[in-house]
């Protein structure tokens, strides 16, 4: 039985805590500096708790941790946890910049632990199906892709003004918070980004000044890719299109389906997934993490894939700042 420490029990930490419990493969302990939240985790999930990471580590006995604090804390915490010999699932984005990446990479190698990044699109059956199809080569090389996506953030994250989202230096804004999922998914499907030209601005969301609207023109491994995202639009939708040498592939995340159209065909052939509970994807993610710890194949984003997407985030923010395209080494 694994023993998993959930660090940060806010919006996503509570979900991880509940979903790891639902795997039936581990015991779960909470850690949060907010005493009211800790008490809540105890009342609602019978989860024991610690007010600080140091206290939790001093108590010993954990085999793994899920880092669910704001992004500027992810890698400093990862170093401490790897030194203590724990396997890690780290929330997105991996960090704000790559400063600590070499040190963490060394610590992972030294500790010989499994580390995944919680880009949950890797656990969506429609993304997995689309990826397998693209990798089969049936459409040839992907030459162009586009993503149109967004949601009404005040509806889905009403606390946005009061959390990390309000500050870039805590991992906030649309690029680091939301677009990063999409960029990681595109990288997972067709390859890493190598050039990013980004325009972004605060258009609408009340109470914050960070960007809520983003357009990106990027290159991924020879494909031209455009991204458009808003966080004030009414529909909660994500639409990917990939155009290859012999046809196209479309993913409608909001409809849980992916489809293919070959050149000359007159319609899409769809592959649908029956309705899921929102927790289901996170239970799949928890299972994938525990599989990785046990040395089984795992769907999760690797640490290196998380680093690559961190470079995308950084390049996008830098591009907005200087008004120029940025090349990713």
Binding residues for ligand NAD, rule: CB under 6 A, are 7-13, 31-34, 37, 53, 68-71, 73, 91-92, 118, 120, 163-164, 171, 177
Q: Name the H helices within the chain.
A: 11-23, 35-45, 53-59, 74-83, 101-111, 125-136, 153-156, 173-174, 180-190, 278-293, 303-322
* Helix, strand, coil percentages, rounded to 5, for the chain: 45, 25, 30
Q: Is 158 or 264 the residue whose CB approaches ligand NAD more closely?
A: 158
Nearer to ligand NAD, 223 or 283 (CB): 283
Give the position of tokens 């780290």: 90
Of 47 and 139, which CB lies nearer to ligand NAD in the complex structure? 47
Nearer to ligand NAD, 30 or 223 (CB): 30
Smallest gap from Cβ 267 to ligand NAD, in A, equals 33
Element (H, E) at 241: strand 237-244
Closest approach of Cβ 93 to ligand NAD, in Å? 6
User: Whole-number minimum distance, CB 144 to ligand NAD, in Å?
Assistant: 28
In the complex with ligand NAD, the residue whose CB is nearer, 154 or 247, is: 154
Closest separation in Å from C-beta 9 to ligand NAD: 6
- The structure tokens 């400063």 sit at 99
- Give Cβ neighbours of residue 248 (< 8 Å, ≥ 6 apart): 139, 241, 242, 260, 261
Of 20 and 197, CB closest to ligand NAD: 20
Least distance between ligand NAD and beta carbon 122 (Å): 11
Residues near 138 by beta carbon (within 8 Å), at least 6 away in sequence: 246, 247, 260
CB of 252 to ligand NAD, least distance (A): 19
Give the Cβ contact number of residue 163 at 10 Å: 16
């Amino acid at each position: 039985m694994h023993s998993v420490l959930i660090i940060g029990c806010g919006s996503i930490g509570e979900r991880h805590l509940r979903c790891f419990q639902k795997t039936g493969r581990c015991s779960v302990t909470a850690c949060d500096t907010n005493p009211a939240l800790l008490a809540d985790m105890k009342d609602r999930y019978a989860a024991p708790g610690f007010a600080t990471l140091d206290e939790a580590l001093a108590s010993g006995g954990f085999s793994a941790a899920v880092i669910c604090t704001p992004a500027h804390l992810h890698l400093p915490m990862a170093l401490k946890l790897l030194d203590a010999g724990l396997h890690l699932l780290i929330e997105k984005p991996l960090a704000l910049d790559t400063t600590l990446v070499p040190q963490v990479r060394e610590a992972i190698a030294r500790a010989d632990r499994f580390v995944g990044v919680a880009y949950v699109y890797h656990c969506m059956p429609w993304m997995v199906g689309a990826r397998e199809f693209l990798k089969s080569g049936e459409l040839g090389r992907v030459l162009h892709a586009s993503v149109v996506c967004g949601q009404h953030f005040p509806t889905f994250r009403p606390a946005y003004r009061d959390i990390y989202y309000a500050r870039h230096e805590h991992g906030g804004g649309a690029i680091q918070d939301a677009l990063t999922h999409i960029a990681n998914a595109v990288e997972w499907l067709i390859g890493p980004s190598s050039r990013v030209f980004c325009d972004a601005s605060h258009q609408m969301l009340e109470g914050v000044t960070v960007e809520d609207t983003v357009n990106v023109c990027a290159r991924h491994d020879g494909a031209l890719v455009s991204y458009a995202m808003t966080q004030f639009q009414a529909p909660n939708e994500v639409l990917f299109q990939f155009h290859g040498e012999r046809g196209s592939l479309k993913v409608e995340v909001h409809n849980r389906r992916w489809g293919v159209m070959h050149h000359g065909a007159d319609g899409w052939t769809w592959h649908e997934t029956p309705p899921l509970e929102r927790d289901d994807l996170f239970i799949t993610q928890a299972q994938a993490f525990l599989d990785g710890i046990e040395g089984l194949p795992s769907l999760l984003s690797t640490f290196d894939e998380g680093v690559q997407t961190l470079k995308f985030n950084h390049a996008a923010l830098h591009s907005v700042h200087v008004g120029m395209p940025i090349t990713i080494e």
